[in-house]
Amino acid sequence: MATFRKRGDKWQVQVRLNGCPPISRSFLLKADAVAWARQTEVEADRRAIPVDNWLAAA
């Protein structure tokens, strides 16, 4: 799930999913942040993002 927030003149997006470490990035345009978040979530669904070993062992 992605969370968006305005920080100064930039948009910060954080993607947090079960089994994956949180990933965040900042953008000048909210549209860019939304597109990146959507793409990151798709990659995580496909397991292209490495699973955190600590969470996998639990």
Q: Six-digit token pair at 27?
A: 């953008």
Count the Cβ atoms, other than its own, within 10 Å of residue 35: 13
Mean pLDDT of the region 29-37: 96
Nearest in space to 55 (alpha carbons), one of 17, 19, 16, 23: 19
Question: How much is the pLDDT for 57?
Answer: 46
Quote the CA–CA distance of 27 and 50 in Å, as a whole number.
23
Mean pLDDT of the region 40-44: 85
Average model confidence (pLDDT) across the chain = 84
Q: In DSSP terms, which residues pair with 15 in a beta bridge?
A: 2, 23
